[in-house]
Structures are given as structure tokens and as C-alpha cells.
Structure 1
Amino acid sequence: MFKVSKKLLIVPVLMLSLALVLTGCSSGAKQDANANAPQNNNQAPADTAGSSVPACTIDVVNGSATVTLTEKELGAIPAVTLKATMKKKDGSEQEYEYTGIPLAKVLEAAGVKAYTKVSAVASDDYACEYTPDMINAEGSILAYNRDGEALGNSGPLMTILKEQPSNKWCKNTVKLTVTP
């Protein structure tokens, strides 16, 4: 029997390992660079040139019917700008200027004519319930802009009810569920 040096075995083993690693990394399947990035299902891929509404969608659920509005449909509705005061958990208050679409007009665009309540649902399933009077009140909007900027962690869409405490506002709103 012959004796093989350990040093001679190391080189082929390293080369084989390297070849397997390189082959595994370039297996022909292309992987999206953002495949492991957190996904926001409220984002819609679209060109928003000429529109100040960011890329987004909102589902309006009315019984068994669901209408999905994109930034294109939302951008066709005249926007309003208003000042509203957010009351923070620590008791402090901060006034912001919000731009968005009146909630009543969003429901109208989705074909909703009558309802007894509407629930705004966030991406984390947090929900706020609104009466028709709250929806139709001046200053009740689906906001997409705060102080001239996108909403950041609060958006892309957020319900603002100027006459209601800020715990009735729904950040990251992805759905409006209508109760007839």
C-alpha cells in the first residue's frame, strides 16, 4: 500500500469545496436583490410622475366585493391640505400639515353609497372604526403627505380625522372595510 501526504489531500479538497461554493452561487437561477427585504404589500409598482400620491394601493371591502384603488385612482380625486394636532403617548402635542383625499370621496370612488360604519385597517391589522358622521366630517382624510413629505413609517397612507383624538387615526392604512 502507498502512503498519501496530508498536504496533497488538502489542495484537492479545497479546490472541490471552492468549486461547489461557486457552482451553488451561480446555479443559473437569478435571485432578486431585494428578495429578502421586508415586503410592504401596500406598495404598487407604478410611475407616479405628475402625481403627488405615492405608489400605493388601498382595498375597499364592501360585503363580498373588494375594490382596489391605486395611486392613479386616488390621484384623480381632488386633494385637501389641513392642519391637525397629534396627541402623543407622552401627553405632548404636535401640529402637522397633512395632505390627502377626503375619506368620503375615497369611498365614493370605490362605489360605496351607504354604510353604518367603516373600519380602517393597518398593515399590522390594527383597526379604527368610524361612523358616517366621522367619515363625512370636514378634516377626515386618507393622508399621504405630512409637512410636505411622504409619511415615512406612518404610510404610505394614513387616516386623519382632525376632530378626533389621534388614537383614532390609522397609520399604514391598507384597507377600508365597510359595514352596510
Structure 2
Amino acid sequence: MAGTFDANQLRKGTIYKKDGNTLVVLDYKHIKMGRTPATIRVKVKNIVSGSITEITYGSSDKVEDADVAKRSAQFLYSDGSKLYFMDNEDYSQFELPTEDLGGQEGFLKEGERVVTMYLDGRPISVELPASVELEVTLASDAVAGDSSNNPTKKVKLETGIEINVPLFIKQGEKIKVNTETGEYVGRASGS
């Protein structure tokens, strides 16, 4: 039997086993209400059947670690429904359905390095870096007087996604974005 770990260590992209099925976490919520113990609610996809379900765990529950191999890969392109990658070890190309990334596909730009998870010799998921640097391609100017209560504006990034950033960010700047939350982290180094 593989090792186990606490359910509160589950995050987007984590692969684990439950009742003999290999599951990948698509979404994760840590819920704590008043004096009650925390619960972990995860939306998971069964890797073999493709079915998606929600599971709730107590914070002290244990889950079984899946025996997954990790290898470096490079993102090539997307055609909308599929994402195409190249393995950096043997230069073979493979594809994954866009929905397998659970909304994180908007943080991938051509040439981005990722970690690929393999189960039984086939790629099943990719793990993005904690943050990525993306260029702001569309940003409106800040309006004078818009400075109360932590002001932000919506900008469009080079991959097509839109996020909220501080008012001082301008079109053409490179910014760091947290790939798990989709939030602005800061200006990219050298920007």
C-alpha cells in the first residue's frame, strides 16, 4: 500500500487514491465554521472514467497517496479543447483535455515549463509553477479619485485571461500571477 497523508494537504492538481480509484483534485475548499472542526471539500475527477464528483473530508482524515511519476514538460499550444505538451526527456508530444487543468489553462503560455504526472506510463495531469509571469495586453487607465478601499482594475493578459490588478499597472508590463488563486502577486522582476 502506498503512503497516506492528511486530507488538509490536498490542493488543485493533487493526485490520490480512494477506494481503488485514482483521482485528481480540480477544486479545493477549506471550510471552518465557528467551533466545529474544519472540513475539506474537493471536486475531483476520476482519471480512468472521467467522472467528476465532490467529496468532503474532515481535516484529520487520511487519504492514500497515488504512485505517480513526475517528469518535466513544455507547453506547446492549445486548440481550445486540448492542450499540447512536449516531454523534455524524450521529446515525445502528448495532449491533455483542457478541462483536466481545472481552470488553470489560462496561465499557460507557449514554452512554459510544467511538471507532468504519469500514471502507468501515460500522462494524466500537469502541475504549474506556483506563479507565472505574464504580460498585460489590455489595461484601462486609472481614473482620478478611484483610490478608496484597495482599488483595482480588470486587465487582460497575454493568454487571454482577465484578472484584477492595482491601478498603477499599465499595458505592456509583465506581472506575476498566482496560478492557484489567479490573483496578482506583483510586478515581474526586471519589469
Task: Check whether TM > 0.5.
Answer: no
More strand by share: 2
Higher relative contact order structure (alpha carbons within 8 Å, sequence separation ≥ 6): 1
Q: Which has the larger radius of gyration?
A: 1
Alignment TM-score, normalising by the size of structure 1: 0.24
Alignment TM-score, normalising by the size of structure 2: 0.23
